[in-house]
Amino acid sequence: MMLVAIEFLAFSTLLDGFLSSSNLLSLVRSIAVLGILGAGLSIVVIARGIDLSIAAMMAVSGSWAVFLVGQGVPEWQALLIGLAFAAGVGAVNGLLVAFMEIPALFTTLASATILLGASQLFMVFGTVVYLPPEASFTAWLGQGVVLGIPVSIWIACAALLAGHFALARTRWGRFVYAMGDNVETARLSGIGIRPLTVAQYTFAACVAFAGGLTLVGANPTFSVRVAEGGILFDLILIVVLGGVSLSGGSGSIVGVLAGTLLIGIMLNGVTIMDLTKQYQDLLKGVVLLAAIIIDNALHPRDEETDRQSDI
Amino acid sequence: MSAYSNIKRLTRLALASALALSFAAPAVAQDADRVESLRQPYVDAVKGKKVVFLVTTLGVDLTAAWHKVFTDTSAKLGIDYSVRDSNWNTQAQVQAFDALLGEKPDAIIIQNWNLSLTARQIKKAEEEGIIVIQLNQKSLMNSTAHVGVDWTGVGVVTAQEMVKQCGKDSGRSGKVAIIQGDVTASDSFYQMAGVESVFAEHPEMSIVANQGGQWDPNKAHDLAVTMLQQHPDLCAFYGMWGVMAMGVGQAISEAGLKGKVFSYSNDGGSRYACDAVKSGDFTKFWSYDAPNQARDVMQLLTYLFQNDYTPGTLKGAIYSPLQEISLENYSDTLCWDPAKK
């Protein structure tokens, strides 16, 4: 949080126009989807998993639902189909990780690739989806404004609050931390590790679907390739910056919110400075590396964590 | 225009390419003077020729429309046509091209990823007797033909329009923002050259922001939002691909600046581009009519096949005519409908 404040102050002083209220609103709006997905991903990472398919899930499930609307399916049905699809694939991810015990890294990397391939071949038949006029609810999610604040920001708040509540206030949340801290101990204390894992990946996928809708609804056109761009990188960045340790067991949604703001402010600042994409990538890479080094220093390997392979 | 009439239109193009040849024509004996002397040589020359299309992705309307015309025309003429889709992966295009050098098709149609990626392969292919037609996105390495847009020219007409609307005596700031697709792609490179050549003579014009949108409407939207914040007196946006630039139009609408900040773009001219002109998301738009570009390619190939052409002996461009579309000349017929999926 302190880093966020420092960065915010630096940009406010150095960059003209950064501090205008409309810039701040547009800043938050452009990172709303990161906040939404960050809420889903952080729960998986806290439990010492990883979901690399979350960006693909976001793009594919959201764009498929909108594509179906364009094909004449009533919007509410299309959205239910999209949600069911996301939940289904998320559950499959979870089942593979929990029951087949395939490392989450490989499972979700593979499912991301499968999702993107299937979307081009069988689902939206291409990489660009057009927002049909009938998809008015989705357009509202992406473009609507309630009480002066974009709907996508409300959804991000809801996702982060739900994540925070689940992690900090429920037994389920404590089990997630226990599992991330030490799977064996958690299992021995009677926590149903496998169903819990399936639930985490399903939750992440459903959150991804919601995030996808806000993104697909935001513009008249949507490129499924968003998933292949830097968004996954940005997500891991915010999760790690948010203090969620990649070796599990620690971190909170409040931290993820801070991480989201940090990245959002940085992305907004570099655009205002008109830096080229190469510089932007360089900057992000350096920040991620620094964050991982700090994470490593704060959570040094010990006998217990060494027994787990890295994600 | 309905999807049905659009399919009809694409089919008509394919038929035109086939010069209305009917292979089912009854084989009746004909008087020598009733035989059109070019017809049989044409049929014989094109039949069985192997043509491969190296495309960046088939996942967008532009390339899907090209592919449809190639497929339909080839089926009618008996051309052995196939496509290698690199699916947004630059390295896949290099590998596919390398593999083709071994297979030796009669012609390769390539939509280049960027100016330099396959330059070596293009040169080698023509040396080995394979005709290389570059479609829309050209390489620094010239080959038999570049069929597609004169990008520098597009940059020039767009910049001239911006000068007209934003320059001296317009009462506006002269500030424009540019969102390129990919800064290494040939279209971006030459459009920028065109813009800069015009602005060089108009010191009142300035490019205040210039970024790559990576062909992504969402990214273009976010860039445009920030640029609008940063330059409240911005006069115009130039988005270098219509599909992507629709995100710019959205950002202008959200800021309540529709009609106050101009938005210019270009692409293959599918229905969505016309919709965006109609809704005011684009102030002016230039279409290069994708189905007709594909027709140009096929016409050129059939001509070369008839003349036992040796690759490397000709070099030149077949520039696609540009159709300007704005509310002033708007008509639904100026755009084509993508085939139903």
Token pair listed for B338: 């993508």
Nearest to B276 among A20, A124, A220 (CB): A220
pLDDT by residue (tens digit) across A104-138?
Answer: 899 999 999 999 888 888 888 888 888 888 888 99
**Is the pLDDT assigned to residue B5 strictly greater than 70?**
no
Does A306 score more than 60 pLDDT? Answer: no
Residue B226 at interface with chain A, using a CB cutoff of 8 Å: yes
How close, in Å, is residue A190 to chain B by CA atoms? 46
pTM: 0.80
d(CA B83, CA B41): 26
B268 touches chain A (CB under 8 A): no
When pLDDT is averaged across residues A163-188 and rounded to a whole number, the result is 85
Contacts of A124 in chain B (CB under 8 A): 341
Band the pLDDT of B190: cuts 50, 70, 90.
very high
SS3 B81: strand
**Interface contact flag, B61 A128, Cβ < 8 Å:** yes
Q: What is the CA radius of gyration of chain A?
A: 19
Q: Is B58 on the interface with A (CB under 8 A)?
A: yes
pLDDT, one tens digit per residue, over A248-265 is: 777 888 888 888 888 888
Q: Is residue B147 pLDDT above 50, yes or no?
A: yes
What pLDDT does A186 receive?
81
Nearest neighbour of A222 by CB, restricted to B217, B254, B255: B217
pLDDT at A101 (0 to 100): 84
Cβ atoms within 10 Å of B230's Cβ, excluding its own: 22
Q: How many CB atoms lie within 10 A of CB A196?
A: 18
The domains found in chain B, sorted by start residue, are: 3-149+289-321 (3.40.50.2300), 151-287 (3.40.50.2300)
A213 reaches B (C-beta below 8 A): no
Domain extent listing, chain A: 2-302
Dihedral of the alpha carbons of B195, B201, B203, B209, in degrees to the nearest 10: 10
For residue B26, is pLDDT > 60? Answer: no
8-state DSSP, B233 = T
Strand-pair partners of B180: B212
- Residue A149, number of CB atoms within 10 A of its CB: 14
* Long-range contacts of A297-301, Cβ-Cβ distance < 8 Å, separation of 24 or more: A298/A245, A299/A245, A299/A247, A299/A250
How does pLDDT run across A53-89, given as a tens digit for each residue? 999 999 999 999 999 998 889 999 999 999 999 999 9
Q: How far apart are CA B169 and CA B172, in angstroms?
A: 8
Interface list for B 243-262 with A (CB within 8 A): 243-244, 246-247, 249-250, 254-255
Q: B105 at the A interface (CB within 8 A)?
A: no
> A120 and B250: CB-CB below 8 Å?
no
Cβ neighbours of B266 (radius 10 Å): 30
Rounded CA-CA distance A280/A263 in Å is 11
Scanning B177-206 for CB atoms below 8 A from A yields: 183
pLDDT given at position B302: 96
User: Contact A55/A112 with Cβ under 8 angstroms?
Assistant: yes
Closest-CA distance, A146 to chain B, in angstroms, reads 14
Provide the CATH topology of domain A2-302. ABC transporter involved in vitamin B12 uptake, BtuC (1.10.3470)
Question: Strands, DSSP E only, in chain B?
Answer: 50-55, 80-85, 107-110, 131-135, 145-148, 175-180, 206-212, 236-239, 262-267, 284-287, 316-319, 323-326
Is B116:B139 a contact under the CB 8 Å cutoff? yes
Q: Measured between beta carbons, which residues in chain A are less than 8 angstroms from residue B272?
A: 130, 220-221
Of how many residues is chain B composed?
341
Does residue A287 or residue B65 have the better pLDDT?
B65
pLDDT tens readout for residues B243-264: 999 999 999 998 889 989 999 9
- H or E element in which residue B42 lies: helix B39-46
Q: Report the length, in residues, of chain A.
A: 311
SS (H, E, C) chain A: CHHHHHHHHHHHHHCCCCCCHHHHHHHHHHHHHHHHHHHHHHHHHHCCCCCCCHHHHHHHHHHHHHHHHHCCCCHHHHHHHHHHHHHHHHHHHHHHHHCCCCCHHHHHHHHHHHHHHHHHHHHCCCCEEECCCCCHHHHHHHHCEECCEEHHHHHHHHHHHHHHHHHHHCHHHHHHHHHHHCHHHHHHCCCCHHHHHHHHHHHHHHHHHHHHHHHHCCCCEEEHHHHHCCHHHHHHHHHHHCCCCCCCCCCCHHHHHHHHHHHHHHHHHHHHCCCCHHHHHHHHHHHHHHHHHHHHHHCCCCHHHHCCCCC
The whole-number pLDDT of residue A5 equals 66
CB of A219 within 8 Å of any CB in chain B? yes
Kindly tell me if the per-residue pLDDT of B50 is higher than 90. Answer: yes
B221 touches chain A (CB under 8 A): yes
Smallest CA–CA distance from A117 into chain B, residue:
B87
| Closest partner CB to B226 (pick from A16, A26, A225) | A26
Query: Which residue of B lies nearest to A215 if distances are taken between CA atoms?
Result: B218
- Mean pLDDT, residues A267-290 taken together: 77
Say yes or no for a CB contact (<8 Å) between A219 and B212.
no
Under DSSP, the state recorded for B106 is S
Please give the ipTM for the structure prediction.
0.74
Identity of the residue numbered B274: C
pLDDT for B12 equals: 60
CB-based contact (8 Å) between A222 and chain B? yes
Distance CA A242, CA B77 (A): 61
Inter-chain contact B216–A226, Cβ cutoff 8 Å?
yes
**Mutual angle of helices A193-216 and A54-70, in 10-degree steps:** 50
Predicted confidence at residue B23, as pLDDT, reads 47
The CA angle A8-A10-A14, to the nearest 5 degrees, is: 120
What does the pLDDT average to over B291-319?
Answer: 95
pLDDT in tens, A209-222: 999 999 999 888 88
Q: Which of B227, B230, B247 sits opposite A221 (nearest CB)?
A: B247
- Between CA B36 and CA B25 the distance in angstroms is 14
Search chain B and give the residue with CA nearest A268.
Answer: B226
Asked if B217 and A271 come within 8 Å (Cβ–Cβ), the reply is no
Q: Does B85 touch chain A (CB under 8 A)?
A: no
Burial readout B291-328 (b: 16 or more C-beta within 10 A, e: otherwise):
bbbbbbbbbbbbebbeeebebbeeeeeebbebbebeee
Q: Which residues of B touch A268 (CB under 8 A)?
A: 226
Percent residues over pLDDT 70 in chain A: 88
Assign A240 a pLDDT band (cuts: 50, 70, 90).
Answer: confident
**Contact with chain B for residue A226, Cβ under 8 A:** yes
> Is A271 within 8 Å of B212 when comparing Cβ atoms?
no
Nearest to B218 among A127, A130, A215 (CB): A215
Per-residue confidence band for B9, with pLDDT thresholds at 50, 70 and 90: low
Average pLDDT, stretch A303-311? 50
B128: tokens are 């080995």
